[in-house]
């Protein structure tokens, strides 16, 4: 069952008993009959290799912890399902994602592995963002569970995932909940930030900011928000011309040339000639 205790029990028992039985084959023929889609689904190539997942993470985001900076990958926004069922599916996936994320957080805290599992979730977010073929393969109802677990084993080995992270992903496959994975990552990130007093901020700039510049921004945000930790997610927008925009919570700080031009334009339009 998708309850907190049920998820935790299954995840921990998988670790104690690594030799799980062969998974049941998915109902490929029924799916093919209903939706008339090809049954074959080739295994996607892990195109991020030889880049490691750690390298993907280091390129995308920064965390300020006291006076140090650590690399983190950006979380992935949940993909929207088809328009006809968007509301019902979105609500259902969010609830499921929240349940599984809460269970994973509790396990991480009990095993003193919150930071390690959070790092794994960030790395997995980078993979889903950089290689949509991998995400779609793991979430496809056509691909058999055994093949999905082989892909998870490859990802885990490549990234050096914590054993609980690997078991958790296999549990999602067993429960046919991989389609909620992006909601799980989103909910896990939210819960992690609450527990660690971390403020996430998006920094949009026309050019790549140097680490020293990011550190200055992070320290200033730390003063403004009072948060213990600041997590920056860089985004690049050439239309800003120069400067940057910082967004955190419902707040925005616009220090871009584009923003300055827009403000001057607005002032000129209000001037009576």
Show the tokens assigned to 238.
Answer: 């050439």
Residue 251: strand pairing partners: 248
Alpha carbons 166 and 11: distance in angstroms, whole number = 9
Q: Choose among 207, 217, 236: nearest CA to 74.
A: 236
Contact status, residue 243 vs residue 262, Cβ threshold 8 Å: no
Q: What's the rounded Cα separation, in Å, for the pair 103 and 232?
A: 26
Quick one: which of 145, 226, 233 has its CA closest to 189?
Answer: 233
Radius of gyration of the chain (CA): 21
Domain boundaries, the chain: 4-193, 197-270
Other Cβ atoms less than 10 A from the Cβ of 37: the count is 14
* Confidence (pTM): 0.63
Q: How confident is the model at residue 87 (pLDDT cuts 50, 70, 90)?
A: low
Q: What is the pLDDT of residues 146-201, one digit of tens each?
A: 999 999 999 898 888 999 999 999 999 999 889 889 999 999 999 999 999 988 88
- Could you read off the pLDDT of 104-129 as tens digits, one per residue? 999 899 989 999 999 999 899 888 88
Q: Which two tokens stand for residue 136?
A: 């779609």
| Integer Cα distance of 247 and 203 in angstroms | 7
- pLDDT tens profile 12-61: 555 444 444 443 334 333 333 433 444 445 555 554 444 444 444 444 45
What pLDDT does residue 116 have?
A: 92
């Amino acid at each position: 069952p998708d309850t907190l205790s049920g998820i935790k029990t299954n995840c921990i028992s998988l670790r104690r008993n690594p030799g799980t039985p062969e998974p049941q084959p998915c109902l490929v023929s029924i799916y093919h009959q209903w939706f008339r889609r090809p049954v074959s689904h080739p295994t996607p190539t892990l195109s991020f290799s030889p880049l490691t997942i750690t390298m993907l993470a280091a390129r995308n985001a920064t965390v300020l912890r006291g006076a140090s900076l650590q690399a983190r990958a950006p979380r992935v926004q949940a993909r929207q399902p088809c328009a006809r069922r968007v509301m019902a599916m979105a609500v259902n996936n969010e609830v499921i994602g929240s349940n599984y994320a809460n269970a994973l957080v509790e396990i991480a805290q009990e095993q003193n592995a919150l930071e390690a599992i959070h790092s794994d979730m960030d790395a997995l977010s980078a993979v889903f963002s950089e290689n949509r073929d991998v995400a779609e393969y793991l979430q496809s109802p056509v691909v058999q569970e055994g093949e999905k677990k082989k892909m998870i084993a490859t990802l885990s080995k490549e990234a050096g995932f914590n054993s609980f992270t690997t078991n958790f992903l296999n549990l999602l496959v067993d429960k046919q909940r991989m389609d909620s994975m992006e909601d799980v990552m989103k909910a896990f990130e939210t819960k992690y930030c609450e527990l660690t007093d971390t403020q996430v901020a998006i920094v949009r700039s026309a050019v790549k900011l140097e680490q020293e510049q990011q550190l200055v921004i992070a320290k200033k945000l730390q003063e403004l928000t009072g948060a213990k930790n600041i997590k920056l997610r860089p985004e690049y927008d050439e239309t800003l011309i120069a400067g940057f925009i910082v967004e955190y919570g419902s707040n925005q700080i616009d220090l871009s040339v584009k923003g300055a031009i827009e403000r001057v334009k607005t002032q000129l339009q209000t001037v009576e000639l």
